[in-house]
Amino acid sequence: MLLIATRNKHKVEEIKRFVPLEVKILSLDDLDVKLEAPEDGNNFVENAIKKAIFYGNMTKQRTIADDSGLLIDSLDGFPGVHSARFMKDSSYEQRMIFILEMLKSKQDRTARFVCAAAYYDPVEKVVLCCEGAVDGKISHGIRGTGGFGYDPIFIPNGYETTFGEMGEEKHKLSHRYKAFNALFEKLSAIIFFK
Ligand code: ITT
């Protein structure tokens, strides 16, 4: 059994793709977990590990967690580790409008999505974490309805379309794909799932 410890249902769908079919997946709702893990780390790796350890110790289950975000170079990496929490009471459309407004005066629109994928086994006390990133730029408008979060304003390098316009293609090149692909490659070498 494996707990996918995220409240974000889009992340759950993206992470599930990596879990071997024979492994039973648990969610925080399945285990009736109401408490929120601390997210006060300085970077994605710290936060992903904190989430995995917090929920793994609480539930006694082997646990996977994800911490991720968008970093915009000309805004000194904003919103970065605060991607989920900045303008928390506003819709993603409002947040994206705010970002596009801030970038109006900037020449440089380069940005990257980063994801840290963490695994914790509370019995064996094993912690593993892999990071993945995808470079690109911020579009001039909100484009596409696919994906979630900031997908409609992020164009990965080598493409003309935003993640929000892409559909399946996102899952072959995204930050989450790179992080979880690396994590499950390591896990399959050391762990016998059942
Ligand atoms: P959990 O902490 O419960 O996993 P969360 O959504 O709060 O869920 P994070 O703290 O890691 O997760 O924040 C990640 C935010 O970064 C996410 O809510 C989006 O705003 C953004 N983000 C991360 N990956 C993304 C992706 O693939 N596409 C679009 N936006 C993404």
pLDDT in tens, 22-60: 899 999 999 999 999 988 999 999 999 999 999 999 999
Question: What is the CB-side half-sphere exposure of residue 141 using CA atoms within 13 A?
Answer: 4
The CATH number of whichever domain residue 55 belongs to comes to 3.90.950.10
| Measured distance CA(148)–CA(130) in Å, rounded | 22
Q: 8: exposed, middle or buried (C-beta count within 10 Å: 0-12, 13-18, 19+)?
A: middle
Query: What pTM was estimated for this model as a whole?
Result: 0.96
Give the domain extent around 181. Answer: 2-189
Position 135 in a domain: yes
| Measured distance CA(79)–CA(114) in Å, rounded | 12
| Measured distance CA(152)–CA(117) in Å, rounded | 23
Position 103 in a domain: yes
Atom of ligand 1 nearest to the CA of 95: 20
If one counts every other C-beta atom within 10 angstroms of the C-beta of residue 61, the result is 20
| pLDDT at 189 (0 to 100) | 82
Overall number of domains in the chain: 1
- Ligand 1 centroid from CA 171, angstroms: 15
Query: Pairing relation of β-strands 78-79 and 2-4?
Result: unpaired
For ligand 1, is residue 69 a contact (CB within 6 Å)?
Answer: yes
The catalytic residue among 67, 89, 108, 121 is 67
Q: pLDDT band at 193, cuts 50/70/90?
A: low
Q: Is the pLDDT of residue 122 over 90?
A: yes
Position 146 in a domain: yes
Phi (first) and psi of residue 30, to 5 degrees: -55, -35
Ligand 1, atom 9, residue with closest C-alpha? 67
Active site residue 151: no
Whether the CB-CB separation of 55 and 119 falls below 8 Å is answered with no
Whether the CB-CB separation of 162 and 143 falls below 8 Å is answered with yes
Query: Pairing relation of β-strands 154-156 and 110-121?
Result: unpaired
For ligand 1, is residue 178 a contact (CB within 6 Å)?
Answer: no
Position 157 in a domain: yes
Pocket test for ligand 1, best of 3, 4, 6, 8 (most atoms within 8 A of CB): 8
Q: Is the pLDDT of residue 194 over 60?
A: no
For ligand 1, is residue 15 a contact (CB within 6 Å)?
Answer: no
Position 194 in a domain: no
